[in-house]
Amino acid sequence: MMKGFTTKAVRYGENTCPVTGALTTPIYQTTTYAFETVQELRDVLEKKSEGFVYTRAGSPTQKVFEEKVAALENGESAISFASGMAAVSAAVLAVAKKGDHVITNNAVYGSTYHLFAEMLPGFGIEVSMIDVSNTRELEEHLKDNTKLIFYETPANPTMNLIDIKKISKYHPLSMVDNTYMTPYLQNPLDLGADVVIHSATKYICGHGDALGGIIVSNAEFIQRVRPILRDFGAALSPFNAWLLIRGIKTLSLRMDRHCENAQKIAEFLQKHPAVKEVYYPGLKNHPQHNLANKQMRGFGGMIAFEMNSYNDAETFINSLELCTLAVSLGDMKTLVQHPGTMTHAVVPGEKREKIGITDRLIRISVGIEDVEDLLSDLKQALDKIESSRTT
């Protein structure tokens, strides 16, 4: 009965409470669970019976969220975290130990870049940061001790795509950060990837009011991650789990609108004389438009575009009246930011340029407002740049 994406998003893993009849999953706002006997508590700890012991290791509200996302990603199992970065770091540490080698795409979210560039080498893990879409470069970097290939597709913020099917054929585990696409628009596990990660803070939440992260994979991999959640301790709170369950129910409706608005905005930006280049996979001239059509079910709500100079970029952002200057993405409100000095400021300057994060680059997370209002705000801000040039 639960075949469709939205049916699963609304109903999967949630039953009416048999005691009270409550329709909505309750927030189990408790840190610990009480038992009658020592044996009962030990049985749960030793996995001989179902139950919960301590909220850092799991709670009924987290479990509903995990089961729902696993179902939407067509995965066997999932584990949730306090943030997307907690999920990314736990997934990597579940695979790579001192002496191992890992590969990551060089265009990734700023903190993920820093995790690979600075943190992992500090733990004795060797890291290669390359263009994963270039399979020749990838093959040159593969070694016997390479444990994983990590990437985002589309990449934050450049909007470059990576062919999931192609990369999944290589022997190390392939891990895809699917935050930009969400399970509604792309299912990496179906294309052969081993592990999917989300910053649930973004589209899954959708309301800009809760941090969260989640890893989806097979049951064996999720079991490997559990001790990291337990010992590093970045547990999702029951309240945030509840907010994420609420958010994900409307994911498909919101994503349809994000996609529709973003396509219109990308086409508008492409025609405006103040804009030099637009990066959006829904545009026919995006170099990987065909790949987007193959592996994605929509082009998403994220756009990157380049102005002619840093000054133009700053003037444009400062001139916006409706769109909001803020980092983060996936909110119902349209958010605009400058990756080079904000989300990706931790990437060293010369590396940023090489990856394509120039000082002229702007990122828009297109919201679900009426697109005419968004277009008129963007137009008035861009027109200011054009008119300052002619006066």
Q: What is the DSSP letter of 152?
A: E
**How deeply is 344 buried, as exposed, middle or buried, from its count of CB atoms within 10 A (0-12, 13-18, 19+)?**
buried
> How far is residue 221's CA from residue 230's CA, in Å, rounded to a whole number?
15
* Cβ pair 244, 210 in contact under 8 A: yes
Q: Reduce the secondary structure of 286-317 to three states and give it as a string.
A: CCCHHHHHHHCCCCCCEEEEEECCHHHHHHHH
Which range touches ligand PLP (CB under 6 A), out of 84-92, 97-105, 166-174, 262-270? 84-92
* From 80, 201, 252, 263, residue interacting with ligand PLP (rule: CB under 6 A): 201
- What single DSSP character describes residue 32? B
Among the residue ranges 12-20, 23-31, 51-59, 83-91, the one whose residues contact ligand PLP (CB under 6 A): 83-91
Is 80 a binder of ligand PLP (CB under 6 A)?
A: no
What are the residue numbers of the active site?
Answer: 56, 109, 177, 202
Rg from Cα positions in the chain: 22
Residue 83 near ligand PLP by CB under 6 A: yes
Closest CB to ligand PLP among residues 100, 152: 152
Stretch that binds ligand PLP, among 1-9, 82-90, 163-171, 303-311 (CB under 6 A): 82-90
Cβ 222 vs Cβ 79: under 8 Å: yes
Among 69, 78, 85, 102, binds ligand PLP (CB under 6 A): 85
Binding-site size, ligand PLP (CB under 6 A): 14
The answer to whether 334 contacts ligand PLP (rule: CB under 6 A) is no
Binding-residue pattern over the window 91 to 120 for ligand PLP, x denoting contact by CB under 6 A:
------------------x--x--------
In the range 125-164, which residues lie near ligand PLP by CB under 6 A? 152, 156
Strand partners, 102: 127, 148
Q: Is 184 within 8 Å of 5 (Cβ atoms)?
A: yes
Residues lying near ligand PLP in the complex (CB under 6 A) are found at 83-85, 88, 109, 112, 152, 156, 177, 179, 199, 201, 211, 213
